[in-house]
Amino acid sequence: MDYKIIKASSTENLVTKVQYYIRNGWKPLGGLTMSVSSSDYDLKYHESFDFIDGKTMYDFTFCQAMIKE
């Protein structure tokens, strides 16, 4: 069995990548995960993601585990 983790910076990009792998015989394993990071800010002291001009100071990474038997 092969195992792969697909990463993307948006849910739209992740969906596109997951659909590609599904068409090529891979199956999603479990659910979507997301991580949040920032090089300029300490996340543990802030509870909301503030947006300025449609952008945020945070970087999001969306992941999906995939398997192929």
**pLDDT the model gives residue 68:** 97
Q: Does any domain span residue 31?
A: yes
Q: Does any domain span residue 29?
A: yes
Number of domains in the chain: 1
Between CA 37 and CA 57 the distance in angstroms is: 9
Q: Does any domain span residue 47?
A: no
Q: Does any domain span residue 33?
A: yes
Would you place residue 39 in the very low, low, confident or very high pLDDT band (cuts 50, 70, 90)? low
Domain span at residue 8?
Answer: 2-40+58-68
Q: What share of the chain is helix, strand, coil (3-state, %, to 5)?
A: 25, 45, 30
Q: 59: Cβ–Cβ under 8 A, 6 or more apart, which residues?
A: 9, 36, 37, 38, 39
Task: Answer yes or no: pTM beyond 0.75.
Answer: no
